[in-house]
Structure 1
């Protein structure tokens, strides 16, 4: 039996951990939202609160994990990234509630093109032709998946509203990917501190809407209904809260020990498994259009990841000599900022 390199085993373990956490998160979320479709924001609030509790518990066990003290000035500076995060989470939850689990990957298929567009506007830079080609391929895959199909029954056809939720979720994920870079300095460049601020801030922002929509009272009413499966909501909330936290850890580990290409291939494999499990567990219908759509989206995404890895490995051009005189440039005002897809994967 060939000897396995410990580093290879570590990478395999992290990839498996990431895939398992992401799949459990999606399917338990879907099961709870199917059983309690009128409580999406309350369900999301519970997940956020559990993540905060687990962050504090982790800091007690591991001294290297530091929870920041509340600072009003820092909180003000993080309002944009927290606002974008919670809006994206809400639309993500509503989209998952209203579409089949196997179709969820397609409904949010515009994440990459929108991230490229938002990043380009933010940095005032023009993407390369290859990057634009990758974005075009992914967009074609999305259009293929959402095209009307006569082979689908009415009950399995996604509504325009659910597709709208998916597009908005993708758009706010794109904004979030761009804002993370400018927000990290306010958190001592610590992703753990940013995660804490994001979860606490998101919970505070969503709480008034949970109350205004009367979801706590809806929960009380459902609890008095004999046919309502309260254990599904309770255990589903605990499991998704736990795995939402683990997914954050898994994402950080994946970035640390794997390459972008490895991470992207693991995401692709997870998407295929997610589609197959959606068909198996929930009886989702997989048409030729949908299978083709997922393949094209994954192909375009992996092509983009390959492009960025090649660009990152390319030798940097030598710096031009510094000139003196009145015509010297004071600095480049539009730097190129790639938004790596592996830093913005399913949080949510």
Structure 2
């Protein structure tokens, strides 16, 4: 019996999904490794990532006519202030959350992204989501509650602090706001996600820059370099690698949305979440108890159920009223994925 053959399109989809998953996993674990083994420099670390991403966008534009860098326009910049502010605040909370929780727990800490996106979209559009959408959000919320519920079978070092969970919830909330603001921001960038990515990275770096100095991180860096035996190479290489992979992840997300269906994209995200948990347990010796395992499973099931709902045929107007992602072409977040 002849074996089935893969056509070129299937191979392209498989390659894009693998590229997307690999880039996302590298971002999480290199970020975690640097934040765990370097001095407390989260804002400076994030600033370097943003600068590297902007540099790579300009380098790509120099070699490809498909990458268009916008000219600076003060009017456009003012109109994009809301989306840029929401983006950088979400990234900061995202980084702080990853710094303070185990890599395997990161999926749980940010488990409210989908429910909060639905809530923010419904409030923004003044519409009521469909019952099955509410049910999907409820499943994910239950998964989050299971993951953060106190248990006695975890060592003290593995129990996340209330502050770290607060960071995770705020990160999820600002990602939800960012997803909604993308719709109103794209027209100011000629409906180009690349141009919006440039404005977002440049604007985020500008807004973050003074806070890096207010937090005193450059002086901490100099003190560590000159007054201690700190190995600066971990921080330097980590900044470079995450900056490059942050840029690649943006490209991977665009490609994944372009060549795959929403269901395939979400299945790859679910598979990545499972791999992320397993790698966290093996590489960082994170503790995975029954509560956390069940929590991650429930969150993934709820998210996949929501994606299945989206894939079902529906009347155009009904689908648009009840789908919080109907007009959202790209959701992104630097530490894990641009989502």
TM-score, normalisation: structure 1 = 0.92
Report the Cα distance in structure 1 between the residues aligned to 2:142 and 2:212, rounded to whole angstroms. 37
**For each residue in 1:82-108, what CA deviation from the matched residue of structure 2 results, as whole angstroms up to 9, or x when unmatched?**
000000000000000000000000000
Taking the TM superposition and a 5 Å limit, the aligned residue runs for 1:67-106 are: 67-106=69-108
Q: CA deviation at 1:294?
A: 0.2
**C-alpha contact 2:57 2:198 (8 A) present in aligned 1:** yes
Q: Secondary structure at the match of 2:240?
A: helix
Unpaired runs of 5+ residues, structure 2, are none
- 1:6–1:200 Cα change, 3 Å: same
Report the Cα distance in structure 1 between the residues aligned to 2:316 and 2:218, rounded to whole angstroms. 57
Q: Is residue 338 of structure 1 aligned with residue 324 of structure 2? A: yes
**C-alpha contact 2:47 2:205 (8 A) present in aligned 1:** yes
Q: 1:188: which partner in 2?
A: 190
Q: Is residue 295 of structure 1 aligned with residue 316 of structure 2? A: no
Report the Cα distance in structure 1 between the residues aligned to 2:322 and 2:67, rounded to whole angstroms. 32
**C-alpha contact 2:146 2:295 (8 A) present in aligned 1:** yes
Q: CA deviation at 1:2?
A: 3.1
Taking the TM superposition and a 5 Å limit, the aligned residue runs for 1:1-348 are: 1-310=3-312, 313-316=313-316, 335-336=321-322, 338-339=324-325, 343-348=330-335
**C-alpha contact 1:263 1:342 (8 A) present in aligned 2:** no
Q: CA deviation at 1:314?
A: 2.3
**C-alpha contact 1:134 1:304 (8 A) present in aligned 2:** yes
Highest CA radius of gyration, 1 or 2?
Answer: 1
**C-alpha contact 1:223 1:230 (8 A) present in aligned 2:** yes
**For each residue in 1:194-234, what CA deviation from the matched residue of structure 2 results, as whole angstroms up to 9, or x when unmatched?**
00000000000000000111101101111124442211000
**C-alpha contact 2:143 2:299 (8 A) present in aligned 1:** yes
- 1:20–1:50 Cα change, 3 Å: same
**C-alpha contact 1:35 1:229 (8 A) present in aligned 2:** no
- 1:61–1:308 Cα change, 3 Å: same
Q: CA deviation at 1:339?
A: 1.8
Report the Cα distance in structure 1 between the residues aligned to 2:321 and 2:304, rounded to whole angstroms. 24
Report the Cα distance in structure 1 between the residues aligned to 2:225 and 2:37, rounded to whole angstroms. 12
Count of equivalent residues? 331
Unpaired runs of 5+ residues, structure 1, are 319-333
TM-score, normalisation: structure 2 = 0.95
